Amino acid sequence: MDNTFQCVVVAPPGKIIDCKATSIVFPAHDGMVGVLCDHMPMFCELGLGMMEVEYVSENADKPQLNKAFVVIDKGFALIGENLATIVSNDAVSSIDVKKEKIEHMIERIEKKLSTAAYPPDQREHETQKVALLKTLLDFADKSPA
């Protein structure tokens, strides 16, 4: 399939996504950024938000477009020469992640939020992260098994 570029998302556990994408939209520190094939080179700081990846599945006899969603929690994005590299402090993808793992992450954060473990600014950040994880869980519920 033409007009694709390599998209790699890396977080502390390792590669989260490594695919041929037709488009991505990710949260920069100052707003959302969209990338298509042949995008100009750029480097930017990431914020907290939901990344959308439209990618080509290579398992089928006939290539098929799919969507994946990733909760991104800060980091950096490097775009150049048809390669988008997203290096995140924390990332959770709708691809190959069990709903139970996402639910466990939500429970763990909510438990910490119920204590005085976070200062106010971190509390707001973690509250937003829980909302994003719940949205990711909704996407996981709607995706085909």
Q: Distance (Å, rounded) from C-alpha 59 to C-alpha 29?
A: 35
Q: How is residue 11 written in tokens?
A: 């977080």
pLDDT tens per residue, range 40-50? 999 999 999 99
Residue 27: count other Cβ atoms within 10 Å of its Cβ: 23
pLDDT tens per residue, range 5-15? 999 999 998 99
* CA atoms within a 13 Å half-sphere pointing along the CA-CB vector of 17: 34
The average confidence (pLDDT) of the chain is 91
Reported as a pLDDT band with limits 50, 70 and 90, residue 142 is low
CA angle 19, 57, 86 (to 5 degrees): 20
The pLDDT value given to residue 61: 72
Q: How is residue 128 written in tokens?
A: 């937003």
